[in-house]
Amino acid sequence: MRMSILQGATMQASAGRGAAAGQAPAAIPMQAPIGAEIVGIDVGAGATDADYEFLRDALHEYSVIVLRGQGITPAQQQAFAGQFGDLRTSFYNRYAVPGTPALTVVSNIRRDDGELIGIADAGMLWHTDGSYLKTPDMYTLLYGIEIPQQDGRVLGDTVFASAWSAYDALPSDLKGRVDGLRATHSFTAHIAKKEAKGQLKRAPLSAEQRNALPDVDHPVVRTHPVNGRKCLFVTEGHTSDIVGLEPGESAELLAFLTEHIKKPQFQYRHSWRKGDLLVWDNCALQHLAVFDYGQIPRRLHRAGIAGPVPV
């Protein structure tokens, strides 16, 4: 297990703050290249400024952090998320949590009329949230409400891969080749990929929504705006081509890079529990949802935080 510069760090805990009272926040690293569990912070009871500073530091060190056993309301999740930056309201506002427009329902559950209550196909391809936007999501916060199980086994894991570890592991000649290149990220191409694989389950976009999502170009290698790490920023889900390369060369390079980042040595696989609140850094990693639960109910609430233009 990696040692943490944050593990055992002392912070003043607010008196009377529920289960966290008297316990200093600490980050316990996962037995994986990325990820840490945070203890000593009860979001529902209220986090302090020192707590948020601790969480941001942990997030930028571990890329994904897990706060377990958080019994929170949608309003509390939205308020907590807003402390990490500007909340982004999804263009899929038909799936917003009532009363909290910055939260989106991710679920396979259907209403009595057969309509899905949330996005049912989110995360079927490796991606980083909002990369198809000029200012992609910097952070994502996902809260587990209904977690599928079968025969005592938890289903519906989320797998994360470190984009900076994947970059660091590239041969030096390949680093030299990809540094400075740009790639096109396309929501239209993303939907087409899902349709081709028979994975598309969400309601179709309106013409107005499609027009509001033009293709964008981002660096193939992105520099993290806080810690300065270089991260691969091309994905299986949303990257359609590398700008300036012939189609065959572009496809070959993209295939190599998107397969490279999926390697197990870069991954942390999260097994969900009800009440888990995950926060992750979309510059530093990519993620994939595991769809192994069929029609067993699953429901989570997601918040996205707008980030800067990638450089």
How far is the C-alpha of 18 from the C-alpha of 67, rounded, in Å? 15
Nearest CA to 56 out of 305, 266, 311 is that of: 305
DSSP tag of 50 = H
* Sign of the CA dihedral running 104, 108, 110, 114: positive
In a domain, 23, yes or no: yes
What is the pLDDT, as a whole number, of residue 73?
Answer: 97
Do the beta carbons of residue 28 and residue 3 sit within 8 Å? no
Q: Are residues 155 and 294 both part of a single domain? A: yes
Q: Are residues 106 and 201 both part of a single domain? A: no
In a domain, 41, yes or no: yes
What is the pLDDT, as a whole number, of residue 116?
Answer: 92
Question: What is the number of structural domains in the chain?
Answer: 2
Q: Are residues 283 and 148 both part of a single domain? A: yes
What is the pLDDT, as a whole number, of residue 23?
Answer: 76
What is the pLDDT, as a whole number, of residue 35?
Answer: 98
Q: Are residues 79 and 215 both part of a single domain? A: no
280: domain CATH number?
A: 3.60.130.10
In a domain, 74, yes or no: yes
Residue 295, domain extent: 18-161+269-306
Q: Are residues 142 and 227 both part of a single domain? A: no
Q: Are residues 292 and 151 both part of a single domain? A: yes
Q: Are residues 128 and 23 both part of a single domain? A: yes
In a domain, 311, yes or no: no
Q: Are residues 225 and 296 both part of a single domain? A: no
In a domain, 2, yes or no: no
DSSP conformation letters of 75-144: HHHHHHHHTTS-EE--S-GGGEETTEEEEEEEE--B-TTS-BSSBSSTTSS-B-TTTTSSS-EEEEEEEE
Q: Are residues 218 and 75 both part of a single domain? A: no
Q: Are residues 243 and 155 both part of a single domain? A: no
Q: Are residues 76 and 194 both part of a single domain? A: no
- Cα 53 to chain centroid distance, Å, stands at 20
What is the pLDDT, as a whole number, of residue 202?
Answer: 61
Residues with active-site annotation: 127, 129, 287, 302
pLDDT tens sequence for the chain (311 residues): 444 445 444 333 333 333 444 578 999 999 999 999 999 999 999 999 999 999 999 999 999 999 999 999 999 999 999 999 999 987 767 899 999 999 999 999 999 999 999 998 877 889 999 999 999 999 999 999 999 999 999 999 999 999 999 999 999 999 999 999 999 999 887 677 666 666 566 656 666 766 778 999 999 999 999 999 999 999 999 999 999 999 999 999 999 999 999 999 999 999 999 999 999 999 999 999 999 999 999 999 999 999 999 99
- For the CA atoms of 241, 245, 249, 250, the dihedral, rounded to the nearest 10 degrees, stands at -10
